[in-house]
């Protein structure tokens, strides 16, 4: 039996983590066996790489390699075994984030990212990707009120405009996989839009 692999995407401060938790509760109530996880991270090794990625300066190739190294471990140790036993995996970010941040944000070679994606994922893709789309100014205001910024969150507004455009290109290239949620407004409004979109997909 194969489970369901759902990823949550968006720029920093878009609200992914807030809504992932409530989707997990809702799916559990509906009887699904849910695994909540995140990238970079999700295993001891990948969480160590996350610390480096979020705090240490490095060049774009190093950054891309570390992101995919973390993903490889995460897939082998957590995601694939969970899916093989029929569980539902909710993952806060996955490879669309790499194309958006390293590709569009940093300007790193998309062909190299595509090759790394093929090696690391061996054809495995999410079944569904929920992209919370929020203007970078709105996301920045939310984060400023919430916490001290990490290495990515310190980037200027223009970086997040490029990241947003990178997500848009990924969504255009694979429209059947993406659900785009307007992440602006109160949490309850966003949650209602999300619930409607998921119900439309039988979730």
Ligand X SMILES: Nc1ncnc2c1ncn2[C@@H]1O[C@H](COP(=O)(O)OP(=O)(O)OP(=O)(O)O)[C@@H](O)[C@H]1O
Ligand Y SMILES: Cc1cn([C@H]2C[C@H](O)[C@@H](COP(=O)(O)O)O2)c(=O)[nH]c1=O
Whether the CB-CB separation of 152 and 66 falls below 8 Å is answered with no
Residue 75 binds ligand Y (CB under 6 A): no
Strand partners, 89: 5, 35
88 binds, among ligand Y, ligand X, none (CB under 5 to 8 A by kind): none
Q: Residue 44 is encoded by which pair of tokens?
A: 């001891």
Tell me the residue ranges of DSSP E strands in 18-165: 34-38, 88-92, 128-133
Residue 36 binds ligand X (CB under 6 A): no
Residue 41 binds ligand X (CB under 6 A): no
**Nearer residue to ligand X within complex by CB, 116 or 163:** 163
Q: Residue 187 is encoded by which pair of tokens?
A: 């949490």
Residue 15 binds ligand X (CB under 6 A): yes
**Given 124, 142, 162, 177, the residue binding ligand X (CB under 6 A):** 142
Residues contacting residue 112 through CB under 8 Å, at least 6 positions apart: 61, 64
Return binding residues for ATP. Answer: 10-17
Residues making contact with ligand Y (CB under 6 A)? 12, 39-40, 67, 92-93, 97-98, 101-102, 152
What residue numbers does the annotated binding site cover? 10-17
């Amino acid at each position: 039996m194969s489970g369901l692999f759902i990823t949550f995407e968006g720029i920093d401060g878009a609200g992914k983590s807030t809504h992932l938790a409530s989707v997990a509760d809702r799916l559990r109530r509906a009887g699904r066996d849910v695994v909540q996880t995140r990238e970079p991270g999700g295993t001891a090794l990948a969480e160590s790489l996350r610390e480096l990625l979020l705090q240490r300066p490095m060049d774009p190739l190093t950054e891309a390699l570390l992101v995919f190294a973390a993903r490889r471990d995460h897939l082998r140790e957590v995601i694939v075994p969970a899916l093989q036993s029929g569980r539902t995996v909710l993952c806060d970010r996955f490879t669309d984030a790499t194309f958006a941040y390293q590709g569009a944000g940093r300007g790193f070679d998309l062909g190299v990212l595509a090759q790394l994606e093929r090696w690391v994922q061996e054809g495995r893709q999410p079944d569904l990707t929920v992209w919370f789309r929020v203007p970078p100014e709105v996301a920045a205001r939310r984060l400023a009120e919430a916490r001290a910024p990490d290495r990515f969150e310190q980037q200027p507004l223009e970086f997040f405009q490029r990241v947003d455009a990178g997500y848009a290109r990924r969504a255009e290239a694979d429209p059947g996989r993406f659900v785009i949620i307007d992440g602006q407004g109160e949490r309850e409004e966003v949650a209602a839009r999300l619930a409607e979109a998921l119900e439309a997909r039988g979730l």
